[in-house]
Structure 1
Amino acid sequence: MISWRKHYKRGLIAIGLLLSTSASIYAQGDAKNGEKLFKANCTACHALDKQLVGPALGGIVDKVKSEQNLDTDWLHKWIKDNKALRASGDKYANEIFEKFNKTEMTAFPNLTDQEIDDILEYTTNPPAPEPAADAAANGADTNSITSIEAQKRESMNSKIILISLMSIGGLLLWLLFKLRQLVKLQQTDELVGLNATRATSFGDIYNKYQNVGKGILVLLGIFAAYGLWNSLMWIGVYKGYKPEQPIYFSHKIHAGENKIDCQLCHSSAKYGKVSEIPSMNVCMNCHRNIAEYNGKYMEPGKDKAFYDGEIQKIYAATGWDPASQQYTGKTQPVEWTRIHNMPDFVYFNHAQHVVAGETAIINSYNKKNPDAKIDVVCKACHGQVDTMNVVQMANDFTMGWCIECHRTTEVDMNNGYNKEYFKNLHEKLKKQYGSGAKITVDAIGGLECGKCHY
């Protein structure tokens, strides 16, 4: 009896030790700190609930333990230097490398053991969302409902006001009709005779004041001709034009919030005549690893689900399967609507402005617009693109607009391109305008017809 109790007691102790050892796998890290470290180091390639470049990491500790009988020490080695672990001949490490298209995971030798434990704890027991976030969401819903109710009340008030105005208008017309009847009843014979001599038609008025009428007709003809001429002059001017695109692309998020350089996407603007529309492969350079929107900025009326849906359109266009992390070969053309399009008879070279004229254009623009200075030459023509959710044509792009720029933009004589290309011209300009004179673009041929027209 004593022996049975002794073995029973030992069994309970062993089970307790086993459970405590198992539990320690999940309780040795700080999940909140692990969440910060995970977002800073891992989210480019991993998510908890789905495969990206690498596998889903939710419950990875338990998975490695149950499927491969490996503990957290193996995970520490893999995270710190997976290449060395594969080189040592580790079977599971090499299996993972082969499975994910031999994509080598970034090594993190700088992470301490405790920090790795924090990350693993986060993958096992991710902390619940902060109540404040839920409260904010509920507040947003409440605000949305309140806004809808306010709109309904405003609509009802507008209808009441409209009906009231129509009623008042009807009453005034009725009163006018009654007053007219009273006036007719009280007219004397003298008034009747006087009315007979008055003009009662447009023809009578014209015959009486025909000289004035002819003058008015001439003025109307002049105004009509001016209006026609003015409308013809604005054909092809589309300032403010901002068409809806097949895939929603916010320049405010990309160029504004994330500070992406314009020329990263529009690479030919610097060395080419045309700044082309980037191919979808350029989008995939980033969005191969960014499958959902987690930014703080939200355009009014749009939410995370909207942005995530637009990213899925990129995947559909390029034939990218985020689950397998491979291209399917089934692509769909994207019919972008072009916004800036110079006429065929106009020659415009982006490289000439972006390279040779960059400093001169930026300095000239900032002098003329001290309250809206620019830091990128692109903004001088295309406006503050980094603040636009939907890109629009920011300027007129007329011939007069270009000429005005050439007349007021001072040439950067210290520019290496100008110094070499206009080497002999510089001496001539110094003699013509004086050594200290400001030389603008028109002085170096900026107003010659052949510069811009074939």
Structure 2
Amino acid sequence: MISWRKHYKKGLIAISLLLSTGASVYAQGDPKKGQELFKANCTACHALDKKVVGPALGGVVEKVKKDGQDVDWLHKWISNNEKLRASGDAYANKIYEENGKVAMQVFEGKLSDQDIDDILEYTTNPPKEEPVADDKAESADVNSTAAIEAQKAQQLNSKIVVAALIAIAGLLLWLLLKIRQLVKLQQTPELSELNSTRLTSFSELYEKYSYVGKGLVGLLAVFALYGVWNWLMWVGVYKGYAPEQPIYFSHKIHAGENKIDCQLCHSGAKYGKVSEIPSLNVCMNCHRSISEYKGKYIEPGKDRDFYTGEIKKIYAHVGWDEDKQAYTGKTEPVEWTRIHNMPDFVYFNHSQHVVAGEQAIINGFNAKQKDAANKIDVVCKACHGKIDTMNVVQMANNFTMGWCIDCHRTTEVDMNNGYNKEYFKNLHDKLKKQYGEGSKITVDAIGGLECGKCHY
């Protein structure tokens, strides 16, 4: 006789085990926490909807289950894939081979079991993104007041232009009438007699006051020479120069919004003579996995598609195939327009200013600022301006010889700096005797005005 009670108990046990297994996959994970963990640990190599360095992870739990594995296997793989492959796990080695033998980072000790559950829940049920308004409409709303004001100003300018054109037309008409009258007068004998009298009077007047005329001519010559001299002094000065670049790059997004350190891209700025223009390989360190712009900041008049299009330009120049996640070997150099470029006869060393003079330059610059908002926190800003607020980089200062000398005369040397403390030890004592104890020692006192320091 069949014992239904016995089979009933077995069925309940099986159902409870099935439910508990399902709960461990879905109920225990928090997709919002998983999203944060995914962004912090996984986005460099993975996306939910496409292959980056590693495979797309959207629905990875179901994919693994279809291949005969379970959540426990995923925990082992995420925690320490190297250990799992070394154990001879066939599926682990298959995944490794399929993805170009690129080893995944080991997260053992970094991610707890709960963290992994949260990440898996995010890949299975990602939280819905909040609806984002159309970028162009958003920009229009933010700047609606400015747009209205600009329209009013444009209308006013149009009225002024029309009024000016009417006035010029009236003046031209008046001049034509006067010319017509002069032509008529020229035909009369009275005009010839009057002209001869006027010529005589003018010659007598010139002879009487000739010294005044000569003085005025001399004064005009002085002003003309000053104008030529002033013009010559500003040759090669391009303050405000902001050329259009072949690939649009916003320092405000990178350095301002994302807080990327200057030296991550300009690696030569601190320890090299020149700052260097970063190669596109530096860009690809991040943009190999960041193929779309999803940031919150959008410059007025632009949208996210615009920024994404500029990222695609990088791919085109370096020969990056997004679908295959590999370089094609077809490259094209970018013809950047250089903004800061010293003449050949000028010697400037970035490392000397950034390493030895970093704190001194920051302190000296901030001491001149009356408004706290103009003070700087990074030495780069003293010369290049607040780069982290610029969408388009421009030359922020004159970079003339006078500008440099003024800085050398007002910037106090940081004698607490290890380099200066040792190098100028004896000189420091000499300067103390010369200037007196407690006096400020500026850069000009240690050779900052010597011609050979800056010129070959």
TM-score w.r.t. the length of structure 1 is: 0.80
Structure 1 counterpart of 2:91, which letter? Y
Q: For residue 244 of structure 2, what is the aligned residue in structure 1?
A: 244
Question: 1:3-14 alignment to 2 at 5 Å?
Answer: none
**Alignment-mate amino acid for residue 265 of structure 1:** C
1:395-429 alpha-carbon deviations (Å, 9 max, x no partner):
11111111111111111222222222223222221
1:298: which partner in 2?
A: 298
CA distance in 1, matches of 2:178, 2:101: 95
Match in the other structure for 1:453? 455
CA distance in 2, matches of 1:341, 1:173: 49
Q: Determine which of 380, 383, 386 is the counterpart of 2:385.
A: 383
Seen in structure 2, the aligned counterparts of structure 1 residues 378 and 203 have a Cα distance that, compared at 3 Å, is: farther
Aligned length: 430
Aligned to 1:3: none
1:406 to 2:399 alignment: no
Deviates more, 1:29-38 or 1:238-247: 29-38
Deviation, 1:31, is 4.3
Match of 1:10 in 2: none
Deviations 1:159-202 (A, max 9, x none): 677557656775787799999999xxxxxxxxx999889969x9
Residue of structure 2 aligned with 1:420, choices 413, 422, 431? 422
Q: Which residue of the partner structure matches residue 269 of structure 2?
A: 269
User: Aligned partners of 1:423 and 1:95: how far apart in 2?
Assistant: 65
For the pair 1:50 / 2:36, whether they are aligned, the reply is no
Structure 1 window deviating more from structure 2 (269-278 vs 212-221): it is: 212-221
- Choose 280-289 or 434-443, whichever is displaced more: 280-289
Shift of residue 301 of structure 1? Answer: 1.7
Retained in 2: the 8 A contact 1:34–1:122? yes
Q: Does 1:374 align with 2:406?
A: no
Letter matched to residue 140 of structure 1: E
Number of the residue aligned with 1:355: 355
How many Å separate the matches in 2 of 1:330 and 1:319? 5
Read off the aligned partner of 1:89 and give its amino acid letter: G
- Could you say which residue in structure 2 is the equivalent of 1:318? 318
Determine the C-alpha separation between the residues in 2 that align with 1:64 and 1:96: 11
- The residue type paired with residue 90 of structure 1 is D
Counterpart code for 1:339: I
Partner of 1:91: 90
Deviation at 1:55, TM superposition (A): 0.7
Paired AA for residue 78 in structure 2: I
Contact 2:251 2:390 in 1 (8 A): yes
Asked if 1 retains the 8 angstrom alpha-carbon contact of 2:61 and 2:120, the reply is yes
Question: CA-to-partner distance for each residue in 1:218-264, whole Å, 9 max, x for gaps?
Answer: 33222211111100000111111111112222111222222222222
Contact 2:135 2:303 in 1 (8 A): no
Structure 1 residue 130 and structure 2 residue 133: aligned?
no
Work out the CA distance in 1 between the residues paired with 2:202 and 2:75: 101
**Inter-CA distance 377–338: structure 2 relative to 1 (3 Å threshold):** same
1:102 aligns with 2:104: no
> Identity, % of aligned pairs?
65
Matched, 1:254 2:254: yes
The letter of the residue matching 2:138 is A
1:28-177 paired onto structure 2 within 5 Å: 28=27, 29-66=29-66, 68-109=67-108, 111=111, 113=113, 115-131=115-131, 133-134=132-133, 140=138, 143=141, 166=165
Distance in 1 (CA, whole Å) between partners of 2:74 and 2:56 is 14
- Structure 1: gaps spanning 5 or more residues: 1-12, 183-191
Is residue 237–residue 398 contact of structure 1 (8 Å, CA) maintained in 2? yes
Task: Give the C-alpha shift of residue 391 in structure 1.
Answer: 1.3
Q: Partner amino acid for 2:75? A: H
Paired residue secondary structure (1:75): helix
Q: Shift of the alpha carbon at 1:275? A: 1.6
Partner AA of 1:234 in structure 2 = W
The residue type equivalent to 1:99 in the other structure is E
Output the aligned Cα RMSD. Answer: 4.1
Structure 1 counterpart of 2:81, one-letter code: N
Distance 1:35 1:193, change over 3 A: same
Give the residue type in structure 1 aligned to 2:416: N
Structure 1 position 357, deviation (Å): 1.3
In structure 2, how many angstroms separate the alpha carbons of the residues matched to 1:138 and 1:326? 34
1:59 CA drift (Å) = 2.8
For the residues of structure 2 that align with 1:235 and 1:179, how far apart are their CA atoms? 45
**Counterpart Cα distance in 2 of 1:422 and 1:148:** 55
Superposed counterparts of 1:193-272, under 5 Å: 207=206, 212-272=212-272
Partner of 1:345: 345
Q: How big is the shift at 1:341?
A: 1.0
Tell me if structure 2 keeps the 8 A contact 1:255–1:386: yes
CA contact (8 A) 2:136 2:301 kept: no
CA distance in 2, matches of 1:92, 1:433: 77
Query: How has the CA–CA distance of structure 1 residues 259 and 227 changed in structure 2, closer, same or farther, with 3 Å as cutoff?
Result: same
Specify every segment of 5 or more residues in structure 2 that has no aligned partner in the other structure, as ranges. Answer: 1-11, 182-190
With normalisation by structure 2, the TM-score equals 0.79
Partner of 1:279: 279
Paired amino acid for 1:60: V
C-alpha separation in 2, matches of 1:343 and 1:23: 70
Answer whether contact 1:48 1:56 (CA < 8 A) is retained.
yes
Q: Which moved more, 1:349-358 or 1:140-149?
A: 140-149
Structure 1 residues 171 and 283, CA, compared in 2 at 3 Å: closer, same or farther? closer
> What does the per-residue CA deviation read over 1:28-51, in whole Å, with 9 as the maximum and x for residues that have no partner?
455455434433332222112211
CA contact (8 A) 1:26 1:125 kept: no
CA contact (8 A) 2:319 2:328 kept: yes
Contact 1:199 1:205 in 2 (8 A): no
- CA–CA distance in structure 2, aligned partners of residues 375 and 259 of structure 1: 13
| Separation (CA, whole Å) in 2 of partners of 1:384 and 1:34 | 36
Distance 1:339 1:404 in 2: 22
Q: Distance in 2 between matches of 1:434 and 1:250?
A: 49
Between 1:209-218 and 1:167-176, the stretch displaced more is 167-176
Per mean C-alpha deviation after superposition, the further-off stretch among 427-436 and 226-235 is 427-436
2 CA distance for matches of 1:220 and 1:146? Answer: 50
Residues 422 and 36 of structure 1: CA distance in aligned 2, closer, same or farther (over 3 Å): closer
Q: CA deviation at 1:447?
A: 1.0
